[in-house]
Amino acid sequence: MKKSVILSKEEISKQYKFMSDVKSITGGNKKVYIQTFGCQQNEADSERLLGMAEQMGYEKTADPKQADLILVNTCAVREHAELKALSITGGFKHCKEANPELIIGVCGCMVSQEHRINDIKKRYPYINFLLGTTLIHRLPETLYETLTQKKRIFRIDSDACVIAEDLPVKREPGKADAWVSVMYGCNNFCSYCIVPYVRGRERSREPEAVLSEIKALIKDGVKVITLLGQNVNSYSPAGRENYGFADLLSDICRLDGEAVISFMTSHPKDATERLIDVIAENPPKKNKVGIARRFHLPLQSGSDRILKAMNRHYDIERYLYLVDYMKKKIPDIAITSDIIVGFPTETEEEFLETLEILKRVRFDNVYSFIYSRRNGTPAAEMDGQIPEDIKGERLRRLLDVQTAIGKEKYLDSVGKTVRALVEDVSKTDGARLTARTETNRLIHFEGDASLIGDYAYFYVEKAEAHELFGRFIKKD
């Protein structure tokens, strides 16, 4: 297995040099449009792409027709996301016809797969460059070559193991929340999943780099920080034998200031009692850095046989043990999960086992997916692929069960007083504001916009399946 390497200062300064070269070639004052698909990790990657683009003189625009550079940051986890990215990219052909100087680059997980690269080479001649997920730090070099060599560039290395520190990041100004990657890649090779093939091997950032980034964010007034990684529970920085994710969380909670930390995604095979203890010991508090009362623990299936076929390395007994331990140590914890329905060979009985676990655990929320066959993964080759209509029907039944549970759980909050961070004006009702509780529940309430960014207490009056309605009591 390749060892992870933190890019040398020279390598990074090379990219900075390309940034200033690009700016002098174009003269600056350019515009970049970015379209992002997929997970939070991709959103975080887009912030880095935008950060580099900004240094090269490209200001962000919300209108692709105005852009001098269009970046499409793609996802490959399910076919649906790929088809959407391809169709949107297809639409940008008109922008190129209107402005032949326009540069179009497609980045991310979709273009880290051989068959897609060939497809794009042939069918999308107006795309200037492809940049694989593990190589996005080389955007400056790629843009420079595109501008100077007038040729198409395909820069892909899905096996890369590098960590790029100290590159610019463009976060939306004034936002109360931020993402911080703590590790990249995945070594698990769940049999349905494309991620290990496109995001390379697991590599963890040094704790010092993570801590100083978080310190700076807190100083800037960021109140909610989500630590990101495909499997944060296997965080293990190079050369630090006994330092794991629980240690990183404890160190973060010792920083000065006030913030709520959450993290995703966890793998049940690597989640430990110690990690749960650290969460229990560090609740969010005024003037403290604490950990959100929420835990995303993807189950994927309620059947031991299917979990084995998925190569997940835990069984239902272990999963339920972790859930019970969490509920015991952190009684107000909101547990959420991912479920895949219609994995090859899944029987009706095995699907019913999944529904039973949903009823037993009573998740706050479940992200459920129809199994999507991914080229190059072992599950794609398995006999016993489930017909689309059965997969669709299983998803609907699962959603019915979970919606009822979610509503009951949210109803539990009615009549209670909860602490929440006021986030924004409500998207569904401009006369109200929204706040988010430490368990990630959204509350709509009437209040003054000056409250945005403050913690406050609310009395919950009403609940729907995914939202609460409350009355503002007082600021914390």
Contact between 374 and ligand 5AD by CB under 6 A: the answer reads yes
Contact between 186 and ligand SF4 by CB under 6 A: the answer reads yes
Using the contact rule CB under 6 A, the part of the chain among 95-103, 313-321, 366-374, 416-424 near ligand 5AD is: 366-374
Contact between 333 and ligand 5AD by CB under 6 A: the answer reads no
Tell me the closest approach of the beta carbon of residue 230 to ligand SF4, in angstroms.
4
Torsion region of 320: left, alpha or beta (phi above 0 gives left; psi -120 to 50 gives alpha): alpha
Contact between 367 and ligand SF4 by CB under 6 A: the answer reads no
Cβ atoms within 10 Å of 268's Cβ, excluding its own: 22
Rounded to 5°, the CA angle 8-103-87 comes to 105
Contact between 231 and ligand SF4 by CB under 6 A: the answer reads yes
Tell me the closest approach of the beta carbon of residue 309 to ligand SF4, in angstroms.
13
Which of 154, 243, 321, 369 contacts ligand 5AD by CB under 6 A?
369
Contact between 188 and ligand SF4 by CB under 6 A: the answer reads yes
CA-to-CA separations, 383 to 294, 361, 391, in angstroms, rounded? 37, 31, 16
Per-residue binding letters, 233-272, with ligand SF4 (x by CB under 6 A) = ----------------------------------x-----
Distance of CA 220 to the CA centre of its chain: 22
Pick one of ligand SF4, ligand 5AD, none as the site partner of residue 189 (Cβ within 5 to 8 A by kind).
ligand SF4
Contact between 229 and ligand SF4 by CB under 6 A: the answer reads no
Nearest to 162 by CA among 2, 357, 327, 361: 2
Residue type, 63: D
Tell me the closest approach of the beta carbon of residue 194 to ligand SF4, in angstroms.
8
Report 18-77 residues binding ligand 5AD (CB under 6 A). 77
Helix, coil or strand: residue 300: strand
Contact between 336 and ligand SF4 by CB under 6 A: the answer reads no
Tell me the closest approach of the beta carbon of residue 77 to ligand 5AD, in angstroms.
5
Q: Which two tokens stand for residue 114?
A: 């051989």
User: In the complex with ligand SF4, which residue's Cβ is closer, 186 or 326?
Assistant: 186
Contact between 192 and ligand 5AD by CB under 6 A: the answer reads yes
Which of 146, 372, 402, 413 contacts ligand 5AD by CB under 6 A?
372
User: In the complex with ligand SF4, which residue's Cβ is closer, 257 or 378?
Assistant: 378
Rounded to whole angstroms, the Cα distance separating 404 from 25 reads 59
Contact between 81 and ligand SF4 by CB under 6 A: the answer reads no
What are the start-end ranges of the E strands in 287-412? Answer: 289-291, 294-296, 334-341, 365-370
Using the contact rule CB under 6 A, the part of the chain among 133-141, 245-253, 367-375, 381-389 near ligand 5AD is: 367-375
Tell me the closest approach of the beta carbon of residue 29 to ligand 5AD, in angstroms.
39
Helix, coil or strand: residue 409: helix
Tell me the closest approach of the beta carbon of residue 214 to ligand SF4, in angstroms.
24
Helix, coil or strand: residue 453: coil
Give the total of residues touching ligand SF4 (CB under 6 A).
10
Cis before 265? omega within 30: yes
Tell me the closest approach of the beta carbon of residue 98 to ligand 5AD, in angstroms.
37
User: In the complex with ligand SF4, which residue's Cβ is closer, 112 or 230?
Assistant: 230
Nearest to 87 by CA among 136, 129, 37: 37
Cβ atoms within 10 Å of 431's Cβ, excluding its own: 8
Q: Which long-range contacts (CB under 8 A, 24 or more apart) does 415-420 make?
A: 415/460, 416/459, 416/460, 417/457, 417/458, 417/459, 417/460, 417/473, 418/443, 418/457, 418/458, 418/460, 418/468, 418/470, 419/284, 419/455, 419/456, 419/457, 419/458, 419/476, 420/455, 420/456, 420/457, 420/458
Nearest to 139 by CA among 181, 168, 99: 168
Which of 85, 104, 127, 195 contacts ligand SF4 by CB under 6 A?
195
Contact between 189 and ligand SF4 by CB under 6 A: the answer reads yes
CA-to-CA separations, 186 to 43, 46, 160, in angstroms, rounded? 18, 19, 12
Tell me the closest approach of the beta carbon of residue 389 to ligand 5AD, in angstroms.
17
Give the total of residues touching ligand 5AD (CB under 6 A).
12
Pick one of ligand SF4, ligand 5AD, none as the site partner of residue 437 (Cβ within 5 to 8 A by kind).
none
User: In the complex with ligand SF4, which residue's Cβ is closer, 163 or 420?
Assistant: 163
User: In the complex with ligand SF4, which residue's Cβ is closer, 223 or 312?
Assistant: 312
Which of 30, 31, 48, 78 contacts ligand 5AD by CB under 6 A?
78
DSSP run (H or E) holding 354: helix 348-361
DSSP 203-266: EE--HHHHHHHHHHHHHTT--EEEEE-TTGGG---TT-TT--HHHHHHHHHTSSS-EEEEEE--
**139-149 and 9-26 helices, crossing angle to 10°:** 40
Contact between 307 and ligand SF4 by CB under 6 A: the answer reads no
Tell me the closest approach of the beta carbon of residue 193 to ligand 5AD, in angstroms.
4
Please name the residues in contact with 171: beta carbons below 8 A apart, sequence gap of 6 or more: 47, 178
In the DSSP assignment, the letter for residue 383 is S
Interface residues with ligand SF4 (CB under 6 A) are 186, 188-190, 193, 195-196, 230-231, 267
Task: Provide the binding-site residues for ligand 5AD, judged by CB under 6 A.
Answer: 77-78, 192-193, 298, 300, 338, 340, 369, 371-372, 374
